[in-house]
Amino acid sequence: MAVDTTPRSTTWTYVDGEWLSGNPPLIGPTSHAMWLGSTVFDGARWFDGIAPDLDLHCQRVNRSAVSLGLKPTMSAEEIEALTWEGVKKFDGKTAIYIKPMYWGEHGSWSVVAVDPESTRFALCLFEAPMGNAHGGSSLTLSPFRRPTIECMPTDAKAGCLYPNNARILNEARSRGFDNALVRDMLGNIAETGSSNIFMVKDGVVFTPAANKTFLAGITRFRVMSLLREAGFEVVETTMTMADFEAADEIFTTGNYSKVLPVTRLDDRDLQAGPISAKARDLYMDWAHSSRDV
């Protein structure tokens, strides 16, 4: 029986000079990206008439393309302008996920190496409600780990990294948790299976130092900056599971849901604490004050 490839929400994709609705067939069985994984993407958000840090997300997808051996074919400014064009195709009520992407169509001198001249671009926008900021999430410790930059292109938002994230999430959910803390190859906490991680101890905010084993996110950096501007001490450092087990608060940051509290770590219940709430309020206040349209 054929798999239904219809998208699960209203979707528009810009490719080869035109906007197409639904899920257009773009990659064939001989495409390099199909069997050898030469894909990168980024993810921004539109909600309430704003798209926070859209310019930075558009810049990062081009950096990711270069890291994977692809050749960006659009400027960040062109991607940003296309995004605002695409947003107008929606009803303006439901939040939108903004996904610019590049992929390779052919191999180069080796079947395995991608030919940068065969790089293709698409911009996909689809409806995706924001995460529930008041629900909280549960975490455990994953048995799987993050690779180093010597092993994988961890400096890019590359599709080939995400099967590892998927098995992290699936294993955690098989044990009744929403997500998991993930260690690097030295055993230190790097991130969760889908977001950057913060903890609070005695009023000080801590987050794992960016060591190129995980993508130090745009929302992560924005939240760190806003907390510091508000007078909080924010420390990037090497962190262990024991640090999180002793935390007063834990929260995550990421583009999909922005700032979310953690309300359970293994068998320990946690409160959605005041600094976690402040971090989200600071982010949302900043986002709405920097309205682009």
β-pairing verdict for 196-201 and 204-208: antiparallel
> Is residue 293 scored above 60 in pLDDT?
no
Cβ-proximal residues to 248 (8 Å cutoff; 6+ apart), any chain: 199, 200, 201, 202, 273
Which residue has 């590049």 as its token pair? 102
| CB of 260 closer than 8 Å to CB of 251 | yes
pLDDT of residue 134: 66
Q: Greater confidence, 293 or 95?
A: 95
β-pairing verdict for 11-15 and 18-21: antiparallel
- Burial level of 130, CB count in 10 A (0-12/13-18/19+)? middle
> Is residue 70 scored above 90 in pLDDT?
yes
Reading the block at residue 183, the tokens are 């260690």
pLDDT of residue 139: 98
Give the pLDDT confidence of 244-266 residue by residue, as tens digits: 999 999 999 998 889 999 999 99
Q: How far apart are the first and last CA of the chain?
A: 45
pLDDT band at 219 (very low <50, low <70, confident <90, very high): very high
Report the distance separating Cα 195 and Cα 134, nearest Å. 17
| CB of 265 closer than 8 Å to CB of 140 | yes
Report the distance separating Cα 120 and Cα 87, nearest Å. 22
**What is the arithmetic mean of pLDDT over 275-282?**
96
Give the pLDDT confidence of 81-117 residue by residue, as tens digits: 999 999 999 999 999 999 999 999 999 988 999 999 9
Report the distance separating Cα 235 and Cα 207, nearest Å. 6
| CB of 190 closer than 8 Å to CB of 152 | no
Cβ-proximal residues to 200 (8 Å cutoff; 6+ apart), any chain: 206, 247, 248, 249, 250, 251, 273, 275, 276
pLDDT of residue 84: 98
Give the pLDDT confidence of 180-199 residue by residue, as tens digits: 999 999 999 999 999 999 99
CA-wise closest residue to 244 among 179, 174, 164? 179
Give the pLDDT confidence of 133-158 residue by residue, as tens digits: 667 899 999 999 999 999 999 999 99
- Torsion-angle region of 153 (φ positive above 0: left; ψ -120 to 50: alpha; else: beta): beta
Q: Average per-residue pLDDT in the chain?
A: 95
The vertex-5 CA angle with 1 and 257, nearest 5°, equals 135
Reading the block at residue 22, the tokens are 């639904």
Cβ-proximal residues to 229 (8 Å cutoff; 6+ apart), any chain: none
pLDDT of residue 133: 64
Give the pLDDT confidence of 3-12 residue by residue, as tens digits: 999 999 999 9
Cβ-proximal residues to 112 (8 Å cutoff; 6+ apart), any chain: 36
Which residue has 């990711």 as its token pair? 64
CA-wise closest residue to 157 among 217, 241, 80? 217
pLDDT of residue 292: 46
> Is residue 291 scored above 90 in pLDDT?
no
Q: What is the DSSP letter of 160?
A: G
Residue 127, CB half-sphere, CA atoms under 13 Å: how many? 13
